[in-house]
Amino acid sequence: MNLNNRYNSYNTNLIFKKLAIDFVILGTPLFAACNQITHSDNKLGPNIVLILADDLGYNDISTFRRLHLDKQPENPPTCLTPNIDKLAKDGMIFTDFYCGAAVCSPSRASLLTGKNCTRLGIYNWVPENQPMHLRSEEITLAELLKAKNYKTGHFGKWHLTSQNTNQPLPNDQGYDYSFFSYNNAMPSHRNPVNYFRNGQAVGPLEGYACGLVVDEAINWLNTNETYQAPFYINIWFNEAHSKVAAPPELASRHKLNNEYYGCIENMDLAIGKLMAYLKEKNLENNTIVIFTSDNGSEIDSSNDPFRGVKHFNYEGGVRVPFVIKWPEQIPAGTESKMPCSFTDVFPTIAALTGTEFTAEKKIDGIDISEILKGKQKTIERENPIFFFRYFHDPICMLRDGDWCLLGYKNYISPSETLDIIKLANVDSWNFNENHMKYLKNATPEIFELYNMSYDKEQKNDVSAQHPEIVKRMKEKMLAYRDEMITEGGDWYQQ
């Protein structure tokens, strides 16, 4: 059966998915009668605020920049992020945290489901008029938490649905309320014209995207003024993805990349406004706040000291800032060096909210709540962190403890750029049937090995010195690739 037809019929699938959640959430029937929930009921889970920047580099956040002052480029980022820094001061930062993919859509899909994006069939960013999307049968974080009577809202960029189709929107994926753009803010962050409210076009807006998103979230939270149920909201900014725009007073502070650094500072101000609201409403102590980025930046200095940029499975493309705050539960001013990823967010939030779950299909993430509480420094991962991206070499990356294995289909030197349009004989950068055919056979054949404990810049390939480690990790990498593409499916196969 054609997957495009199968998953476009999402209205039927939604009924079955809602029924499935009753069995997925053990002991928490979705439609069971519940006692009235009050804000003071400590047996209920905390509020959740999941903040996601777009195309923001590790080095763009002041707190993370300070971790590598000895390895800064000649012209380091000049943006300052005091509100994000305060989240870090009041919570925990992760130095070795990985997103879900080196580009937008697949990364976001992993964040919401706890599954590797390849297993989900989200192989690249989602263009318009294409079948690839987050399928309605997948259980999202919103649907998980609704079983605990959470109120849920999505605010900002979505990019998990192909526009001009009838694929599921945020309100179909567990969100009670949504204010979203399908993809980037157009024509820029300033005065966007392409936002939707609960699926209906809003029309031209005045202001900057980050401020509009936070204001909409605050207005929605005010409709729940009594807070008789916990809430979970996504704040998914369009900043700092191009086309960038920032208030002149912020942009003028910077000599280089002025609009880019200015829009990051504008986003930080919006975060500060949201945090002030939570404090004013006495919600701060019972709210988990997470801040991260969907992938690395396209501006090289923004990813330092790491190799590579957005799109690539080097550290600069997939290692992101990650901050989590929960007063009195997560020790303030702490740091974890354990390698973690977006797939870990789903099972960890489930644990922190007391929501037990099973899954019909494999969850790739692990519960890291014991690290957040300061009870453990590390947790053994049964399976390494894995990335597959057919579009750019290295097409595979595997992080296992201190070891990182890169797998290339066509090795290129760091100074070269791989052009898949020429290599794969496809006619478009947009995902299409030719891309689908190509990725099925995109298998790594050349391997590099790095020890991340002393070579986070990936300068010294030690594969020749450790053939046994390469062999073990290569076998796992190839097995993962085959398993996940099989499960992800072919969007065009009859």
Domains of the chain: 3-30+47-372 (3.40.720.10), 385-488 (3.30.1120.10)
pLDDT of residue 411: 76
pLDDT of residue 416: 57
Give the C-alpha distances (Å, rounded to integers) separating 456 from 1, 304, 307, 311, 343: 45, 10, 8, 18, 22
Task: Convert 191-249 into a string of H (helix), E (strand) and C (coil).
Answer: CCCCEEECCEECCCCCCEHHHHHHHHHHHHHHCCCCCCCCEEEEEECCCCCCCCCCCHH
User: Which element (helix H / strand E) includes 259?
Assistant: helix 258-280
Q: From first to last of the 494 residues of the chain, give the pLDDT tens digit.
A: 333 333 333 333 443 344 344 334 333 332 222 222 233 334 567 999 999 999 999 999 999 999 999 999 999 999 999 999 999 999 999 999 999 999 999 999 999 999 999 999 999 999 998 999 999 999 999 999 998 999 999 999 999 999 889 999 999 999 999 999 999 999 999 999 999 999 999 999 999 999 999 999 999 999 876 567 899 999 999 999 999 999 999 999 999 999 999 999 999 999 999 999 999 999 999 999 999 999 999 998 999 999 999 999 999 999 999 999 999 999 999 999 999 999 999 999 999 999 877 766 679 999 999 999 999 999 999 899 999 999 888 999 999 999 999 999 987 665 555 555 555 556 677 898 989 999 999 999 999 999 999 999 999 999 999 999 999 999 999 999 999 999 999 999 85
* CA nearest neighbour of 120 among 443, 430, 364: 364
Which two three-digit tokens encode residue 243? 């086309």
β-bridge mates for residue 400, sequence order: 403
Give the C-alpha distances (Å, rounded to integers) separating 278 from 37, 49, 179, 281: 19, 10, 20, 5
pLDDT of residue 423: 58
Distance between CA atoms of residues 34 and 84, nearest Å: 37
Give the CB-side neighbour count of residue 234, counting CA atoms within 13 A. 31
Amino acid residing at 233: I
DSSP 288-312: EEEEEESS--SSGGGGTTSS--TTS
pLDDT of residue 426: 61
Give the C-alpha distances (Å, rounded to integers) separating 170 from 152, 158, 374, 447, 484: 10, 8, 34, 39, 25
pLDDT of residue 490: 97
pLDDT of residue 458: 97
